Amino acid sequence: MSRKTMIAGNWKMNNTVAEARELVEGLKARASEIAGVDVVVCPPVTTLAYAAEQFAGTPVKVGAQNVHWAESGAYTGEVSASMLKEIPVEYVIIGHSERRQYFGETDGTVNQRVKAALAAGLTPIVCVGELLEQRETGETEAVVKTQVEVGLDGLTADDAAKIVVAYEPVWAIGTGLTASPEQAQEVHAFLRNLLRGLFGAVADGIRILYGGSMKPANAKDLLAQADIDGGLIGGASLKADDFMGIILSG
Ligand code: PEP
């Protein structure tokens, strides 16, 4: 089954309104070069609506970086799926390692967020990945297996067909260290098999993105791997030319 490449940019907690304007303008100016690749940018909440408005009618889609599972209520600092849909936003990153590391995100809360996103018609980009010490002790597969099994617990095959998975080895995020194409492919193939066991044939259509210091210089080799269907990009998504360089490698 052929899977359309997806390149998603995670701005994290970066870009003031003025900085976002410069980046959005830079991407819009080159949007006509985008062909055969799904492109998503995920700004912080302060510039989500601006980005959605600016990219409307272009090939660039917009995503959020987190979503709460409740419809509304006393959850200070959170946003609900229906609030994101209203903007309108189409994608949402869930379970990023920084959320897990610094904000107490667990596989259980990932699962609740994924279900809320799907119920609202948002496409979750579900992040998994091992820490350096887990890789060094040979636990990578066990770690991502639990993250997938618990994070996607209770989903039907139809639900699973709507998600995107991102494999992001934590040791490669923001460090300049990249998994080699072979290292990444090995885990992506493991994840594909795992998804096949859980959801059957739809696994062949689920996009599995690689994330971790992807940049124009290494994107092509990573994206050439059989089970690497795109990238989730942090640092290199903050400069229009770098992000476009990766998009054009897809
Ligand atoms: C990320 O935050 O998802 C990421 C992959 O970051 P970077 O590209 O900066 O490593």
Integer CA distances (angstroms), 3 to 68, 101, 133, 187, in order: 29, 31, 32, 18
Q: In DSSP terms, which residues pair with 209 in a beta bridge?
A: 166
Collapsing DSSP states into helix, strand and coil, what is residue 33? helix
pLDDT for residue 1 is more than 80: no
What percent of the chain has a predicted confidence (pLDDT) above 90? Answer: 97
Domain boundaries, the chain: 5-249
Q: What is the pLDDT of residues 39-74, one digit of tens each?
A: 999 999 999 999 999 999 999 999 999 999 999 999
pLDDT at 223 > cutoff 80: yes
- In this structure, which residue's CA is closest to atom 4 in ligand 1? 234
Single-letter amino acid code for the residue at 109:
T
What's the fold here for domain 5-249?
TIM Barrel (3.20.20)
Rama region for 135: left / alpha / beta (φ>0; ψ in -120 to 50; rest): alpha
Confidence of residue 250 (pLDDT cuts 50, 70, 90): confident
Task: For residue 210, give the 3-state DSSP assignment.
Answer: strand
Question: Which residues does ligand 1 sit against, CB inside 6 Å?
Answer: 10, 168, 173-174, 211-214, 232-236
Answer whether 236's CB lies under 8 Å from 243's CB.
yes
- pTM comes to 0.98
**In angstroms, rounded to a whole number, what is the distance separating the alpha carbons of residues 213 and 150?**
26
